[in-house]
Structure 1
Amino acid sequence: MELTSSITQIVSHLEKIQSFNVQNPLDDTRKYLETMSLQLSGKKESVAMIEELNVSMGGHQIPVRIYRPKGKDVQKSSAIIYIHGGWFIAGGFETHDAVVRKLANKTGSAVIFPDYRLAPEHPFPAGLNDCIDIVKWASEHAENLGIDRDQIGIIGDSAGGALATSVSTQVGELLKFQILIYPAADNQLNTKSWEMYETGPVLNKDGGIQAWKWYHPEGESKPDPLAVPILIKDFKSTPPTLVLIAEHDALRDEGELLTQQMKEAGVSVQTSFYKDMVHGFMHMGETLNEVQKATDEMAAFANQYLKTAEK
């Protein structure tokens, strides 16, 4: 494994991160992701507005942020549902704030960002159900939200890519496109790329095994395809999809296999391979030019399928 000087610098920085006042391994994982995102994302772009609300669903509340892009004055704008990563057990508004701001501004779409329930407190299918419910809610309440219900897409990174993939098989008819950023797809962790990158950079196999056990406790004996997307046979309703793959990523092979299975099922899929990149590179805008390149690529793909007003 040969890493570029920029990636080597980032990996060295990651090794020095110490989570503050850690209570247990789960708390450490959550705080580590927050710290990594804060330190490596770089300066956050300003957006026109961020709205925060709670959506009542099935006896609980789903916190949601809506990011309105800078420089747009559109009553019925296009919208993107963003599903964050974090191994199903970590992540939220603050960890992905910089990424979502960039995407809102570049796509010209309102970005709807649900803070779905996390494992192990809420194992599968809680988080997935929250994401499905928010897509339905956005469509049903589009007029009040100031969005066009016929111009909605979905983006998910890492574990969020797994969730987005499953969401699309359930309510894909409501979505114009899908983008998966280095998606998690398989709970077996037995691919060649997992063998190569078992101890990093960024991810490690022991942490992945524990995360999957927390998220999908029945996954070893009775895996559910909606939890483990590599097992999905019917990609019904899945919209045109772009998959971003990172070269030095333990999830590389399962992401490529998921892409191949979608193609074989008749889904229109494009793959973009990010040479030299590691898992989570979208959080590393302070150092990596590839973050802007990926944002530009995702916006171009989204705008093939969304009608966005000119600035």
Structure 2
Amino acid sequence: MKQSISYYLTLFIIRLKGIKKNFSEDPIDVFKVRKEDQHKPKGQFFKRNRLRSIEIADSVVTEVGLNKTSNQLVISIHGGAFISGPTQLHWDAVKKIATQTAQKVWLCDYPKAPENQIGTISENIYLIYQKALEEFEPHNISMIGDSVGGTLVVSLMQCLIKQTIKLPKQIILISPVMDASMTNSEIEAVEFRDPMLARKGVLSAKKLCAGKLELKDTLISPLYGEFDRFPLTTIYAAENDITYPDQKLTIEKLKESEVEVKVITGENMPHIWPLLPVMKEAELSFQLIVESLKNKVTSHQKE
């Protein structure tokens, strides 16, 4: 497939920013990675349409929406290797979802490693979802997570199923990190093509987050958990992304569990490509996300 000019421009900007260099360090420089963090939204759109700020445990949830009476909710769990975020990319995505779906969006700024470990972080995501259930029907809730945000969404589903708590109508995973141990034998070949991530730095960040847990613990590596009764799951998987090999294994497990799963494979795409600015391929993929959120979804969970 021929890529757009904007694709090559985006790759040039990624390399210029030195993102892969940052993720080639062990230990990873947390404060350098956090330079892109933006904990509060900027601009007139958010001044007009930020409905409220909700403090839940150690998290700050920003509710954005054009329609104050909407009963539809999108819970957005951002990525950032567990050590950073949200960034402008995440606020831009919230703006697009809010304007194009008229649904309410919760951007969840949860606690980060190394100050916090995966147990605390996961508990915060659980409590955020519980708060959502107090205000919205589960069949009106969608969840979207990119990178480790996807990790947290999948881990939450496994937790909710064990506790027989009602699930959201669908989850959308953008380049989810499914195995923190990074032991998949296919990663080495992909790493050469990956313009953003390197195994060394990603693994360093995961160790900071895991604390005393094994890296293959299902809380931080949901690939090793169960997938029975998952809601409709859409996965955006980028070919030039070191997390791609484990996404393929996840897709196999979802299908074996008879979960309705939709896969959008980004040919020659980098990590979290639908969220990247400028790139035509990103814009087209993000439109698919918007359409998924706008469509009415019926549950396909196994009883």
1:164-179 aligned within 5 A = 164-171=153-160, 173-179=166-172
- State the Cα distance separating 1:94 from its structure 2 match: 4.0
RMSD: 2.9
Q: Could you tell me which residue of structure 1 aligns to residue 60 of structure 2? A: 63
**Per the alignment, in what secondary structure is the counterpart of residue 53 of structure 1?**
strand
Q: Could you tell me which residue of structure 2 aligns to residue 296 of structure 1? A: 287
Retained in 1: the 8 A contact 2:56–2:127?
A: no
**Per the alignment, in what secondary structure is the counterpart of residue 268 of structure 2?**
strand
1:193-227 CA deviation, whole Å, 9 max, x = no partner? 5212436311111111101101113454x732121
Q: Could you tell me which residue of structure 2 aligns to residue 203 of structure 1? A: 197
Q: Could you tell me which residue of structure 1 aligns to residue 30 of structure 2? A: 26
Is residue 132 from structure 1 mapped to residue 126 from structure 2 by the alignment? yes
**Per the alignment, in what secondary structure is the counterpart of residue 65 of structure 1?**
strand
Retained in 1: the 8 A contact 2:173–2:233?
A: yes
**Per the alignment, in what secondary structure is the counterpart of residue 197 of structure 2?**
coil
1:214-253 aligned within 5 A = 214-220=208-214, 223-232=216-225, 234-253=226-245
Aligned mate of 1:163, from 152, 155, 170: 152
Is residue 184 from structure 1 mapped to residue 177 from structure 2 by the alignment? yes
Structure 2's unaligned 5+ residue stretches are: 23-27, 299-303
Q: Could you tell me which residue of structure 2 aligns to residue 264 of structure 1? A: 256
1:35-74 aligned within 5 A = 46=45, 49-57=49-57, 61-69=58-66, 73=67
- State the Cα distance separating 1:157 from its structure 2 match: 0.4
Retained in 2: the 8 A contact 1:170–1:237?
A: no
- State the Cα distance separating 1:103 from its structure 2 match: 1.9
Q: Could you tell me which residue of structure 2 aligns to residue 154 of structure 1? A: 143
One-letter amino acid of the structure 2 residue matched with residue 154 of structure 1: M
- State the Cα distance separating 1:283 from its structure 2 match: 3.6
- State the Cα distance separating 1:303 from its structure 2 match: 3.0
**Per the alignment, in what secondary structure is the counterpart of residue 82 of structure 2?**
coil
One-letter amino acid of the structure 1 residue matched with residue 143 of structure 2: I
One-letter amino acid of the structure 1 residue matched with residue 49 of structure 2: M
1:289-311 CA deviation, whole Å, 9 max, x = no partner? 1222222211222333359xxxx
Q: Relative to 1, partners in 2 of residues 1:266 and 1:226: Cα closer, same or farther, differing over 3 Å?
A: farther
User: TM-score if structure 1 supplies the norm length?
Assistant: 0.80
**Per the alignment, in what secondary structure is the counterpart of residue 219 of structure 2?**
coil
Retained in 1: the 8 A contact 2:70–2:103?
A: no
CA distance in 2, matches of 1:45, 1:281: 26
- State the Cα distance separating 1:13 from its structure 2 match: 2.1
- State the Cα distance separating 1:45 from its structure 2 match: 9.7
CA distance in 1, matches of 2:218, 2:101: 31
- State the Cα distance separating 1:9 from its structure 2 match: 2.9
Retained in 2: the 8 A contact 1:197–1:248?
A: yes
Higher strand share: 1
Q: Relative to 1, partners in 2 of residues 1:95 and 1:76: Cα closer, same or farther, differing over 3 Å?
A: closer
Q: Could you tell me which residue of structure 1 aligns to residue 17 of structure 2? A: 17
CA distance in 2, matches of 1:178, 1:264: 18
Query: Quick one: percent identity of the two aligned structures?
Result: 24
Q: Could you tell me which residue of structure 1 aligns to residue 301 of structure 2? A: none
Is residue 104 from structure 1 mapped to residue 98 from structure 2 by the alignment? yes
